[in-house]
Amino acid sequence: MHSEVNFIDNSHKNFNPTIAEALRTAREFLEGLNMEKPGIDCEVFMRSMLAISRAKLYAGLERNLSSQELENYNELIKRRSKREPVQYILGNQEFWSLDFFVNKNVLIPRPETEGLIEKVIARAKDKNINNEPLKILDIGTGCGNIAVSIAKELKSASIIATDISANALKVARINAERNGVAGRIIFVQGNLFTPFAKDLKFDFIVSNPPYIPSGQIDRLSPEVSKWEPRIALDGGEDGLCFYRKIIGEAFNCLCDDGFIMLEIGGDQAEGIKEIVRTHKEYSEVKINRDYSGKDRVAEIWIR
């Protein structure tokens, strides 16, 4: 491929590069924008655009792209050049070995959140030795990845998932349908505990709330700071705003032997412990680390 040819700017309508040439040019274009590991993104886009496996992609590197294929690929690369996350461009993200639809209305599921799912499932199996239906509340469900994953694993669980965003709930409902658990999750729009009567009790209250300190959001990568919904990121001045609210009210909605399970930021363990200590309704808090050794999941027991 000639170095002066840049199909990204769409200036060569009749040019039909091979897959290998298109991959190389796209990678060099994104590298010029100081993007990290653009080769992986370029390959993912090509495989998605052609709807082929990685093996077939590499077996056909010398095949020429059609004008329409080039135009489609060009559009994907243009979007990525604006630092739009790959997951939003392709419209999906894998989590807990399940496929989730995502768009700009929801936070993109992170692998570390799977640690929260693991802890909930383990506690549920310990607690539910008689296999009775468990009642679980997922606060701030976003795309529904936590509620849907738990529903797939705990077949007898009854789950209510809430979010303040109507657009996020639309995405969550799609994911519940996509993964075959729509009949076992009730989605409710509302802020934290406001949608619920005081006499409604849960065995588990789980949440991955916003926990980035407000002043740190703009320092995050553009993929996060410019594209992901700020409402799903902003945890207030110290990042602990929603933990204070959840921990401060959750005991009203917990069964006598209930648990709160929260994802936390890697430097927030002491802050979480201090919040719990201010509420006599709780007996214990345990901080669990993720596979990278960072504090990640807080388990809180009601007294």
Binding site listing for S-adenosyl-L-methionine: 140-144, 163, 208
Detail the residues annotated as belonging to a binding site for substrate. Answer: 208-211
Please state whether 225 falls in left (phi above 0), alpha (psi between -120 and 50) or beta. alpha
Residue that has been written with the tokens 């077949």 in this structure: 155
Q: Please give the DSSP secondary-structure letter assigned to residue 132.
A: P
Closest CA to 211 of 251, 160, 248, 265: 265
Detail the residues annotated as belonging to a binding site. Answer: 140-144, 163, 208-211
Separation in Å, CA 249 to CA 194, 281, 301: 10, 10, 14
φ/ψ (deg, to 5) at 190: 170, 170
**How, if at all, do strands 254-263 and 202-207 pair?**
parallel
- Burial of residue 219, with CB atoms counted within 10 A of its CB: 0-12 exposed, 13-18 middle, 19 or more buried: exposed
Contact call for residues 96 and 114 (beta carbons, < 8 A): yes
